[in-house]
């Protein structure tokens, strides 16, 4: 374990949702900083995020499994759990009130955004994403360790901000009445219905009225693109940032990347559709727009 530096976590980043690798390296081992590996891979990737974590992770990092810390009774992937379940799960990981939480993933900026958003909507005051993620940390030759990390149990007071979470009825209302703009983070071919959904039983296509901004268009080298590029991408997708936006994707993961992109421009979304296309596309009662 890295020895705590003289610089403590109380020296929080000046603003924004991100910290640099240097910022984190100077605080590894500080008692009020917890590092969280929130890596996750698409079902078709054939990779185990947990196994990769055990093989190599940032020293002191705990593994946050978005499929396990979830409402597994819903039948949908990684839906938000109850406040009680979240509090118990993250407290067991050693994440407590008042801690500075730094989330990263093994791809740079992918599922870390979902990890960040989950802590954010459950009321974490100081939660950040590591710029560049594990790839940049590795490229800079910074230390890694293997095995599971067990931190002393802590207490996290979970208060879910339900206004930031859109349900299927909220999205159906937005789709029918235009009360909010729907912004889908999936790749264009999946949005258009030209490619099959990776989940069995889920139709191809998109929610009527939704716009498409693939999450890959707002990310470069494990970080968000610069503000001018983000504004251009959002505008090209047909989104008016002065009006409410609900982000969605395949299962609520990359929708959080769009959340962070809009938030970085000072125009955070109204909500994220937690069920996303995994819910909408598997329901015969909901209209899906597919190939022409």
Report how far residue 270's alpha carbon sits from residue 251's, in angstroms, rounded to the nearest whole number.
18
Given 249, 255, 256, 271, the catalytic residue: 249
Q: 3-state SS of 57-99?
A: ECCCCEECCCCCCCCCCCCCCCCCCCHHHHHHHHHHCCCCCCC
DSSP notation for 25-55: HTTTT-TTEEEEE-----GGG---HHHHHHH
In 178-275, which residue ranges form alpha helices assigned H by DSSP?
188-192, 227-236, 255-264
Report how far residue 66's alpha carbon sits from residue 37's, in angstroms, rounded to the nearest whole number.
10
> Residue 249 catalytic?
yes
In the chain, the N- to C-terminal Cα span, in Å, equals 56
Give the residue numbers marked as catalytic.
249
């Amino acid at each position: 374990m890295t020895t705590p530096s003289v610089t403590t976590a109380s020296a929080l980043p000046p603003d924004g949702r991100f910290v640099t690798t240097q910022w984190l390296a100077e605080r590894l081992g500080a008692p009020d900083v917890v590092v969280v590996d929130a890596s996750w891979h698409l079902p078709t990737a054939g990779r185990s995020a947990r196994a990769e974590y055990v093989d190599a992770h940032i020293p002191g990092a705990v593994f946050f499994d978005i499929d396990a810390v979830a409402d597994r009774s819903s039948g949908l992937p990684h839906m938000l759990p109850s406040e009680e379940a979240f509090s118990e799960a993250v407290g067991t990981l050693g994440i407590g009130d008042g801690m500075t939480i730094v989330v990263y993933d093994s791809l740079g900026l992918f599922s870390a955004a979902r990890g960040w958003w989950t802590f954010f909507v459950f009321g974490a005051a100081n939660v950040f994403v590591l710029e560049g993620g594990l790839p940049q940390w590795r490229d800079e030759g910074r230390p890694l360790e293997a095995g599971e990390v067990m931190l002393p149990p802590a207490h996290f007071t979970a208060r879910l901000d339900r206004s930031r979470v859109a349900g299927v009825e909220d999205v159906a209302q937005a789709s029918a009445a235009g009360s909010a703009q729907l912004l889908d983070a999936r790749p264009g071919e999946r949005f258009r219905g030209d490619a099959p959904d990776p989940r069995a039983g889920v139709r191809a296509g998109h929610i009527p009225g939704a716009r498409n901004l693939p999450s890959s268009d707002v990310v470069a080298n494990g970080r968000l693109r610069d503000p001018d590029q983000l504004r251009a991408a959002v505008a090209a997708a047909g989104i008016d940032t002065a009006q409410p936006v609900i982000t969605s994707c395949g299962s609520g993961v990359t929708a959080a990347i769009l959340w962070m992109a809009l938030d970085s421009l000072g125009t955070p979304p109204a909500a994220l559709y937690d069920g996303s296309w995994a819910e909408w596309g598997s329901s015969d009662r909901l209209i899906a727009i597919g190939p022409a």
